[in-house]
Amino acid sequence: MTLLDVENLWVQFPTRQGVFDAVRGVSFTLGKERLGIVGESGSGKSMTGRAILRLIRPPGIVRADRIALEGVDLLGMTEKEMRAVRGQRISMVMQDPKFSLNPVMTIGDQLIEAYRLANKSDRKGAKQAALDALASVSIRDGERVMRAYPHEMSGGMGQRIMIAMMLIPGPQILIADEPTSALDVSVQRQVLAIMDDLVTSRGMGLIFISHDLNLVADFCDRVLIMYAGRVVEVCRADRLHEATHPYTRGLLNSLPRLDEPRERLSVLKRDPAWSEAPGVSGRI
């Protein structure tokens, strides 16, 4: 079933030198799956995530033939209706939890507030729900964490709390923008495992935005590879290493590997034709 349907999405920023197209006609659908979007900085992958939630600030412009959440067009919604979508039906986890949590509120208060915004509930019920949410991201000493402030948490802990908070309203879609790139590898795996478990068990759709090809290959079902604002290739994540587009191949080859020592790494030769060629659709 299709949760989200994006067709011909453009994001543009007017600049002194003319209009800059950050995203150029991206199309894809999202079912109950883990969809990865990979690309380098400036490829438009983060802009795509933000555009879906209409979080692009003016003077940036978002245009699309359609961005439909379960058949309802998000572009036609008023800002008020959009606020009900953000967080409640589509949640977003950012790279650094430090900037997403309020530094002067305890974690417990923030979780409880998030719950009460989504559900009619008294404080007690909300507290229990918050504790459950923390338990679902493998935080066992929830009571202690609830009393703590964000700066007292490590990066991995903070990101788990963020995920717990984003999942409280029971959204259908989670957009995760580089959720683990600020974390150490061991913690990275834990956070991904938790996210994976939640998404699968709740039947959610996940858009996983990352620059890390290996991570996406491991973790996702389907991958869109973005270059210069376009999707240049779509493939199954477990077949990412058999990708055919020269850009994807170039990215894969430029990674140093422990198992294949090389004197020099192969360098990506950018072909202007890549950004000119029409984009690939990720719609099913």
Partner 1 sequence: MSMLSVEHLNVWFGKGHNRVDAVTDASFDVAPGESFGLVGESGSGKSTILRAITGLVPTWSGRITVDGQDVAKKRHRSFYKTVQMVFQDPYASLHPRHSVDAVLGETLHLHGFRDIDARVVRLLDDVGLGQKFRFRFPHQLSGGQRQRVAIARALAAEPRILLLDEPTSALDVSVQAEILNLLTDLRAEHGLTYVMVSHDLAVVGHVCARLAVMKDSRIVEIMDVDSLRAKRANHPYSQELLRNSVGA
Partner 2 sequence: MTEQTLRQWLLTETPTSRRHARFSALYKGWLSFRGNSMAVIGLVILVALLLVALFAPLISPHDPFVQDLANRLAPLGTDSHVLGTDSLGRDILSRLIHGSRITLYIVALVALIAPVAGLLVGTISGYAGGWIDTILMRITDIFLAFPRLVLALAFVAALGAGIENAVLAISLTAWPPYARIARAETLTIRGSDYISAIRLQGAGPMRIITKHIWPLCVSSLIVRVTLDMAGIILAAAGLGFLGLGAQPPSPEWGAMISDGRRFILDHWWVATMPGLAIFIVSLAFNLLGDGLRDVLDPKDSGL
Helix (H, G, I), strand (E, B) or coil at 76: coil
184 touches, from partner 1, partner 2, none (C-beta below 5 to 8 Å by class): partner 1
Least separation in angstroms between CB 182 and partner 2: 18
* Type of residue numbered 121: S
Closest distance of CB 216 from partner 1, Å: 10
Provide the minimum distance between the beta carbon of 46 and partner 2 in the complex, in angstroms, as a whole number.
17
160-219 residues in contact with partner 2 (CB under 8 A) are none
The listed partner (partner 2, partner 1, none) that binds 15, CB under 5 to 8 Å by sort, is partner 2
**Least separation, in Å, of the C-beta of 181 and partner 2?**
20
Is the Cβ–Cβ distance between 129 and 168 less than 8 Å? yes
User: What are the residues binding partner 1 (CB under 8 A)?
Assistant: 40-41, 155, 184-186, 188-189, 211, 213-215, 217-218, 250-251, 254-259, 261-268
* Residue 40 contact among partner 2, partner 1, none, beta carbon within 5 to 8 Å by kind: partner 1
Q: How many CB atoms lie within 10 A of CB 46?
A: 22
Please report how close the Cβ of residue 226 comes to partner 1 at its closest, in angstroms: 12
Out of partner 1, partner 2, none, which partner does residue 119 contact, by CB within 5 to 8 A per kind?
none
The burial class, CB within 10 Å (0-12 / 13-18 / 19+), for 245 is middle
- In angstroms, the Cα distances linking 215 to 193, 238, 240, 283 are 12, 11, 11, 23
Q: Is residue 16 within the footprint of partner 2 (CB under 8 A)?
A: yes
Contact indicator for 240, 254 with CB cutoff of 8 Å: no
Binder of partner 2 out of 1, 5, 8, 17 (CB under 8 A): 17
CB of 261 to partner 1, least distance (A): 7
Using alpha carbons only, give the angle 200, 203, 206 rounded to the nearest 5 degrees. 75
Structure token digits, residue 260: 């294949």
Measured N-to-C along each axis, helices 155-167 and 123-136 cross at an angle, to the nearest 10 degrees, of: 130
Between vectors from CA 213 to CA 161 and to CA 277, what angle results, nearest 5°? 120
Window of 14-22, 135-143, 208-216, 239-247 that interacts with partner 2 by CB under 8 A: 14-22
State the nearest-atom distance from the C-beta of 195 to partner 1, in Å.
16
**Which residues, in sequence order, are CB contacts of 18 under 8 Å at separation 6+?**
none
- Closer to partner 1 at the Cβ: 32 or 211? 211
Q: Enumerate the H helices of 137-245 as residue ranges.
A: 142-147, 155-167, 185-202, 213-219
Which of 113/212 has CB closer to partner 1? 212
- Give me the residues that bind partner 2 (CB under 8 A), please: 15-17
